[in-house]
Amino acid sequence: MKLSEVLNIVKDCSYPVPFYVKTTDGKRKRIRFFSRNGIVYTMGKRDRKYGYGLYSSHCENWVSLTKAGSAKTDTFKRYLKRANAALAMLEESGLWNDIREEVKHFLSLSEEEQRQMVKDIETDCYNLFYLQTFNGGKYVWARFYQIFESFAAKNCWKSIAWSKWERERMSAEVAECIKNGTEYYHRWIHGYDNTVEVANRNGEKKAWYSEEYRNCGNGWYYLMFDATHAIFFEKD
């Protein structure tokens, strides 16, 4: 395909829209596209805020470009379900008091305000949500803005990657530490360098989970909402 053909197809996409790309070798892949000022941008699977310009060389082996199926998940309904689930987990576990209060604040907003916030998060190529979380913006209350972005992601909750034979025992051990506010740290290898940490800092219970590339110190970092559920926070 020519770049001009791609632009003609996605020219009305002012925010990231998923398409299926079919290549000359018969393979199909899913890519999010949007256009701005006559330029086509793509967003990778894990990209949340920024796009990358598309060049002719990128699409020369493309055969077709079709919009992903119209059967859509009700993203607002799913978002509310996740926010309510998060609140229930945090109230049960006692973790992250500050995040719990932010989630409660979101759920106290009017439906119109909630819908606008979710819409702003979904159109993240313009940073409509992030830029309003500081300097007096309308979402300045969302200090843990990453959590609210994660509620809108395709996959929200992350399970702890315990080894199969120790999952039950380790989950119970972590749950007990969270319940009692006991300090805990455990590091193991399971595909990645995995770490779980539970801390009690001045009476505030917190817990983290991470998956880092082996012997690298960089990877994915999550906040634990209870002993079995974590939510994406940042990638390093």
CATH number at residue 30: 2.30.30
One digit per residue, pLDDT tens: the chain, 236 residues?
898 989 899 888 877 888 889 998 888 888 888 888 888 888 876 666 677 888 889 888 999 998 876 545 688 999 999 999 999 999 999 999 999 999 999 999 999 999 999 989 887 655 788 889 988 889 999 999 999 999 998 889 999 988 888 889 999 999 999 999 999 999 999 888 999 999 998 889 999 999 999 888 889 999 999 999 999 999 88
Counting the structural domains of the chain, the total is: 3
For position 74, what pLDDT does the model report? 81
Whether residues 203 and 219 share a domain: the answer is yes
Task: Give the end of a domain, one of 150, 174, 200.
Answer: 150
Question: 82 and 49, same structural domain?
Answer: no
One domain, residues 60 and 106? no
Q: Which of 16, 35, 67 is the last residue of a domain?
A: 67
Both tokens assigned to 44 = 């990778």
Measured distance CA(213)–CA(4) in Å, rounded: 39
**pLDDT for the residue 37:** 84
124, 150, 176 — which closes off a domain? 150
Distances (CA, A) of 136 to 98, 129, 131, 141, 143: 19, 13, 10, 9, 12
Task: Tell me what pLDDT residue 108 has.
Answer: 97
Based on the fold, state whether residues 124 and 198 are members of the same structural domain.
no
Q: Give backbone dihedrals phi and psi of 210, rounded to 5 degrees, phi first.
A: -140, 150
Q: What is the pLDDT of residue 46?
A: 64
SS3 235: strand
165 and 118 within one domain: no
pLDDT given at position 187 = 93
Q: How many residues does the chain have?
A: 236
Query: Given this model, what pLDDT does residue 43 score?
Result: 83
Residues 122 and 62 in one domain: no
Work out the end-to-end distance of the chain between its first and last CA atoms, rounded to an integer number of angstroms: 35
What does the pLDDT read at residue 202? 84
- One domain, residues 126 and 162: no
173 and 143 in one domain?
Answer: no
What DSSP designation does 82 have? H
Measured between alpha carbons, how far is 221 from 210 in angstroms, rounded to an integer? 4
Contacts of 90 (CB under 8 A, 6+ apart): 96, 97, 99, 100, 103, 225, 226
* pLDDT value at residue 179: 94
Of 104, 181, 91, nearest in space to 148 by CA: 104
Residues 125 and 15: beta-carbon distance below 8 Å: yes
Q: What is the pLDDT of residue 223?
A: 97
62-90 burial, b at 16+ Cβ within 10 Å, e below that, comes to: beebeeeeeeeeeebeebbebbebbbebb
Q: How far apart are CA 137 and CA 2, in angstroms?
A: 41
What is the model's pTM? 0.70
Which residue, among 158, 108, 153, has the nearest Cα to 129 in the 3D structure? 153
Strand partners, 193: 189, 212
Question: Which pLDDT value is given to residue 216?
Answer: 85
Considering the domain architecture, whether residues 228 and 195 belong to the same structural domain is answered as: yes
102 and 128 assigned to the same domain: yes
Domain housing 197? 155-236
